[in-house]
Every structure is written in structure tokens, then in C-alpha cells.
Structure 1
């Protein structure tokens, strides 16, 4: 029964902005689910108002899903997803973890979880920072437009931006950033960019920071993978916090 339910729910996830309508045969072919199973599932969803069928026999999302979406919108708090994810990452990494969102030509730390080590990097929610120093900053800046970056350099009064541009080229190629003693002495940082839900813009970053000696060598691949895994959890809702 659960397998049948999983298959039926998987069919619903195929209805997207890019592909809002489906015919039975078309959906069966796309999913590899037998035609009879697809036909029965879509008919059941339509009977309950979760889908609707047009005169050509094609299905689209129904008003019942819209109603449930309104309930979710009114009762869902992004922090219910973000904070537990940050807490878990701080626990597994042993370091301070923080979420930052782009605000104008700066960024702001909106959520964080502290390391349990006595020697640790400290940052406060609401703390604003420039985009020219630190992994958490450069993971954002690297993916902004040339014009935006030039404005940031001018605001920071950088006489020569060539060095930082070389660093940002590497960040774009790698998809993550690692810095040492840029934002604070004896502190290293790792960060990954956070993309908007349409994947067009980087709107923030997810970072880990701690003493240089703990964010070096073999620790880096492990922590980057942990960051990416946590990003998968928080990225879908991060737009709701901005």
C-alpha cells in the first residue's frame, strides 16, 4: 500500500510550472509507471479535487491543492526548517555555522548555530558584513554580475581588484569558497552559495567558520560535503526568509 502511495505522490510532483498539464499516456511514459496505475491514480486525485481534467482529457493541479498550499503558507515558518538544519550541521562539523543573505551591497547573518568548542568563531544574528572578505562573503560575491562586483570594490575602496577577482573565478569553478584569516585573525571559513528557487541568482551563503587548524587539509572535503547536504535542506525555503 505504501509503495502504491509513493508512486501516486510521485506523479503529483511531475506537475510543475514548466510542465503544468499531463495526459495519462504521456505521464506513464515519462515516469515508467504502468498506464493503468497512472490512469487510476489521476482519476482518484481528480475525484478528490487534487487534480482537474479538461475536455481533452489532460490533467492539471486542482483547487484542493491550492487550499492546502494556503494553509501551509500561513502556518509554515522557514525557521522550522533552517534552525534544526544549522544545529545539526554545527553538531556534526563541530564549528559555528551561519546563514547569510544578500542585502544591497552587503550581507546579513540571519541564522546561526554556535560551535560547542571553547575556542570558536563567534557571529551574531543580524550582523552585517561587507562582501570582500571571508568565505561567507565571497561565496555570495563570486556569483554576482560584473557591474555589481565593481560597485562593491568601489565602496570598499579597493585600489586593485585583480587578486580578489582571481579568487572569485576559482570560487565559481569550484562551487564553494575556502578562506584563511580574512574576516578575522586565526579564523578560517568554508561556504557554499545559496541560489534562488529559480536558480538564476545567488541570494546568500551557508558558511562554517572556526580556528584555522581545524579547517585545513582532510577536514575540507568532509565539511564541504556536509555544507552541500545541509544546503539541499534549507535552499528551498531560504527565499521565504528574505
Structure 2
């Protein structure tokens, strides 16, 4: 019972504030030895209740939503993005097609930023410069490529502009289809370096893309893995019935 009590104490503290904790900070907050807290966190990570979001940084995962008495179907996109941005400690962006349908097929869709959330208040991270309504490059940005990658190549590739970037775009889309995500190593317009995944509706149709900022400098595989885990879970939540509101008409 003592072990269970300790574990629940750690879980309650993680769930109390919507931000990442360092192991030492968490140990001090709950009054337990650092090694004990670390073992508890590893166990929670294995069961999907806690996410590791950096070097020795942990936060409450979406698996706790049921314990909080809420479900993914009751939260809107803004709420989900705010929670995701706070847990990851970085900017997250939701992009979707603009109000006008694509006249030339999905490959000509115009994407725009639908919602954006930054790190939790009080974080030392820079505030996001991207804002709702900003255009999203369909072919150059991680958000655009993640969106396109969810459609069959036959629907997309024929509509790509015949330019010097066509080969690179086709290669990037091929990788995104194989891995399930896209990323850009450089900022694109107002968007930072990002990793992104498609967001599908209840019928499996792609209606948006969800991305998170990557830290400056060289992109580490571990960083992408950590961010991708949270993004994939967030995209699944957005795929719940309320996400149908994201669906805009797309070109035939």
C-alpha cells in the first residue's frame, strides 16, 4: 500500500500542473527520494500515463484524461492544443484547408493556420510568432507535407508544380507516407522548424495536420521521437467526433 500511495502522490502532482517536471523538482515536491520517483515515472511511461518530453523531463500524458473525469470528445481543438503545448513546452500548430475548396485537386489545396498554442505560462521558451490565419506552404512546410502525405500519391503528385523543387517535394512526401510524419529542417515563412502528422476525421479522411516546434540546432532523432509520440496522441484526440468540425470541402 505504501508503494501505491507513493505512486499516486507522484501522479497527482504531475496532473496538478499542466507543465513538464524535472525528476529532482518532482521528488522535492512530493517528498520522495529521486531514485524512487524515477522508478515510478518509468513505470507510468510504460503504461501511457506519463510522457517523457526531454532530458529527465516528464509530464502527465493524455492517458490521464479519464482520471480527470474528462474525455477527448469534450475538449475542443483550442483546449487540446493548449494542453499539448504546455506539456511539450513548445509551440504547437493546427493547420487545415482554407474556406475555399481547391479548384485543381488536393495537390492545390490552400492550407492556413487554424489554431496555435505556445509553452505553458511562465516558461522561458519564446512565444510563438505564427498566428491563426497565416498561410501554410503545402509543399515546403512539415504541416503541408504531413497533410498531403495522407492522400494517395495519384491524387497529389500530378498536381505538384513542375519546378526545381518538385523532385524534393515528391521525395519528402514518399518519406512521410512511409514514416507517418513530416518535418522541415528550416523555418518556412512564419512557421518554425517543425515535425507534423496528419489529422483524420472519424471516417479516416485527412482534414488537417498537427505540428510541434523543434528546438534550435541540429535535429535529434530522440527529440523527434518524443514530440511525435505526443503529436500522434493529439491527432487521435482531434479525430474524435468534434474534429468533424475541422473538415472543409476539398477539391475532387
2:126 maps to which of 119, 132, 144 = 119
The answer as to 2:125 corresponding to 1:130 is no
Q: Which has the higher contact order (CA 8 A, sep 6+)?
A: 2
TM-score when normalising by structure 1: 0.59
The answer as to 2:156 corresponding to 1:148 is yes
The answer as to 2:175 corresponding to 1:175 is no
CA 214–229 in structure 1, closer or farther in 2 if over 3 Å, else same: farther
Name the structure 2 match of 1:38.
Answer: none
Matched residue SS, 1:218:
helix
Deviations 1:147-176, CA, capped at 9 Å, x for gaps: 43432x22xx62451221111111011111
Pick which of 210-219 and 167-176 moved more. Answer: 210-219
Name the structure 2 match of 1:212.
Answer: 216
* Greater C-alpha radius of gyration: 1
User: Which aligned pairs between 1:49-64 and structure 2 lie closer than 5 A?
Assistant: none
User: Which aligned pairs between 1:1-242 and structure 2 lie closer than 5 A?
Assistant: 80-103=75-98, 104=102, 105-115=109-119, 116-119=123-126, 121-145=128-152, 146-151=154-159, 153-154=160-161, 158-184=163-189, 187-199=192-204, 201-213=205-217, 216-236=220-240, 237-242=242-247
* Distance in 1 between residues matched to 2:97 and 2:155, nearest whole Å: 16
Deviations 1:157-214, CA, capped at 9 Å, x for gaps: 6245122111111101111112210515994211110112211x22210111244338
CA 215–164 in structure 1, closer or farther in 2 if over 3 Å, else same: same
Q: Which protein is richer in helix relative to its size?
A: 1
* Distance in 1 between residues matched to 2:219 and 2:143, nearest whole Å: 14
Unaligned runs of 5+ in 2: 1-72, 103-108, 248-252
Paired positions, count: 161
CA 117–217 in structure 1, closer or farther in 2 if over 3 Å, else same: farther
CA 122–216 in structure 1, closer or farther in 2 if over 3 Å, else same: farther
Q: CA deviation at 1:84?
A: 1.7
Q: CA deviation at 1:81?
A: 2.3
Asked whether the equivalents of residues 93 and 223 of structure 1 are also in contact (C-alpha less than 8 Å), the reply is: yes
Matched residue SS, 1:228:
helix
Matched residue SS, 1:100:
strand
Name the structure 1 match of 2:48.
Answer: none
Deviations 1:130-154, CA, capped at 9 Å, x for gaps: 3011111110112234343432x22
Q: CA RMSD in A?
A: 2.6
Q: CA deviation at 1:108?
A: 1.5
